[in-house]
Amino acid sequence: MAMLTDFSGEWLIYRDLAIALAAGLLIGVERGWTLRDEHKGARVSGIRTFALIAGLGGLVALISQSLNLIIAAILLAGVVTMLSVSHFKAIHDPDGRSITNFVVSLLTLCLGLLAGSGYPAVAMAGAAIVTGLLSMRSELHGLMRKLGPTDINVMIRFALIALAVLPFLPDRDFGPYQAFNLQQLWFVVILVTGLSFAGYIANRIFGEAHGTVVTAVIGGAYSSTAVTAALAQRLRGDESNRRTLSAGIALASSVMYVRVLLLTFVLANFAFLPLAMILTPAALVGGIIGLLLLRRSGAAKTDESVETRNPIRLLPAFFFALTVAAMSLAARWAEAKFGSSGIAYLILIMGSLDVDAAIITLGTLPTDTIMANLAGFVLAMTVLANMLFKAGVAGVSAGWKNGKSAVAALLASSIVLAIAGLWSFVALDIRF
């Protein structure tokens, strides 16, 4: 048994060292291929060198654990010094060589140390990520050339919302009716703004290249109302693309249905099935009408994309958090005073102003506070209010002559939504 245990321990050592070499080899293959056209003697390190650097890191980690920490530290310092000296001339070459190879060499050494320290999976995953980033050099540089000031602001603001605030908020209930949990509250703000961030990035990558329809569909993931307003304004003065622009409005609203269902599934999943039963027919009708309009237009895109503003703004994010906190407190008060019917009326009224806030408020309530069927019906009615508002925006902004197709598409989807909601109200015997 002792011999078996020793063999198992030795096998783990061999495995970790082999993975260290494999991680270095993976990075070395990419570096060797990228620098394959360099003249002889110009490359400081290649495939074999990177594999050996990672293997050396694995051995240093093993020595630190099994033999002597001081010896390992001396060896590590020697390796870093050797890498620094060998890359010094290349970094200061008159041709202006990049410092990338030196940084990658140090990263490879660190990955080897990780593998030798008993974290081979992390080391291999790190090697894959490093290799992927290195191989995307042209794509990343091209992306940087496309970025504007607004794009940088969006990324910085989302990073502030997601990373700079959440870790410092307490994860406990407090306040009247124990209605507030700052960490949970801010997490849902991150989730909602994250959807907007993802939609904005997708819009910047694909929208400009594919025009109105793609931009409208992607924009519907973070603000179908904004997309409706933007396209309706263009409808007033662009009769040649009337059907295409109307199709964009219809398809953006269909994507909005999907967004609402996704948020409900994540934050208030008890209401997901009742809500899906009501929203799905309306989403299908809106999508079908949008595709028919697009087909009749004879074009899948136009040369212009939809002008969309920065979706991540710090002041509205804080205001949204305060709105959700106020709604959560009001919902707890309404539940205490009037039961589930009080919550339902409150969600219906407030949700007509902000569907996301209504979904989040439902998700913060204790289990069994409100029946699932009633919650799904109330959320569906808030979506109906939003659809009718967008129909009004489209009609006013575009005018009846140019906007009738868009208004008709929105109203058709709204009518189906209302019918499905009425059927659900009667068939499921929903009571306030």
Shared domain check, 380 and 353: yes
Closest by CA to 311, choosing from 252, 225, 390, 188, is 225
29: in domain: yes
* Mean pLDDT, all residues of the chain: 76
Strand partners, 174: 180
Quote the distance between the C-alpha of residue 27 and its chain's center.
Answer: 28
Quote the distance between the C-alpha of residue 390 and its chain's center.
Answer: 26
120: in domain: yes
Shared domain check, 243 and 362: yes
User: Whole-angstrom Cα distance, residue 262 to residue 273?
Assistant: 11
245: in domain: yes
The SS3 of residue 170 is coil
What pLDDT score does 285 carry? 92
In this structure, of 31-45, 284-298, 342-356, 409-423, the range with the lowest mean pLDDT score is 31-45
In this structure, of 143-157, 161-175, 407-421, the range with the lowest mean pLDDT score is 143-157
CA dihedral (349, 352, 358, 362) positive or negative: positive
361: in domain: yes
- Asked which of 119, 141, 163 is the last residue of a domain, the reply is 141
Shared domain check, 73 and 179: no
- Asked which of 123, 141, 159 is the last residue of a domain, the reply is 141
Rg (CA), the chain: 29
In this structure, of 102-116, 201-215, 243-257, the range with the lowest mean pLDDT score is 201-215
Shared domain check, 327 and 350: yes
> How sure is the predictor about 185, in pLDDT bands with cuts at 50, 70 and 90?
confident
Asked if residues 219 and 227 have their Cβ atoms less than 8 Å apart, the reply is yes
Average pLDDT value for residue range 20-40: 77
Looking up tokens 């009738």, which residue turns up?
A: 404
What pLDDT score does 314 carry? 60
User: Whole-angstrom Cα distance, residue 404 to residue 336?
Assistant: 46
Q: What are the tens digits of pLDDT across the range 326-350? A: 777 777 776 666 666 676 777 777 7
User: Whole-angstrom Cα distance, residue 16 to residue 272?
Assistant: 46
Shared domain check, 232 and 102: no
What pLDDT score does 303 carry? 46
Shared domain check, 252 and 341: yes
User: Whole-angstrom Cα distance, residue 431 to residue 425?
Assistant: 8
Please give the C-alpha separations between residue 415 and each of 219, 254, 323, 388, 404, in angstroms, as whole numbers.
23, 14, 30, 10, 16
Question: Has residue 292 got a pLDDT over 50?
Answer: yes
* Overall domain count for the chain: 2
What pLDDT score does 93 carry? 57
Question: Has residue 190 got a pLDDT over 90?
Answer: no
Shared domain check, 124 and 170: no
Structural domain harbouring 93 = 2-141
Shared domain check, 379 and 261: yes
Residue 383 or 362, more confident: 383
Shared domain check, 191 and 118: no
Average pLDDT value for residue range 423-432: 74
432: in domain: no
Shared domain check, 215 and 317: yes
Closest by CA to 190, choosing from 226, 163, 156, is 163
**The 3-state secondary structure of 101-119, one letter per residue:** HHHHHHHHHHHHHHHHCCC
> How sure is the predictor about 412, in pLDDT bands with cuts at 50, 70 and 90?
very high
265: in domain: yes
Q: What are the tens digits of pLDDT across the range 373-399? A: 888 888 888 889 888 888 888 888 877
User: Whole-angstrom Cα distance, residue 31 to residue 78?
Assistant: 23
- Asked which of 141, 164, 197 is the last residue of a domain, the reply is 141
127: in domain: yes
Shared domain check, 346 and 300: yes
Shared domain check, 291 and 162: yes
299: in domain: yes
The conformational region for residue 38 under phi > 0 = left, psi -120 to 50 = alpha, else beta, is: beta
Query: Which tokens hold the place of 34?
Result: 């990228």
What pLDDT score does 282 carry? 92
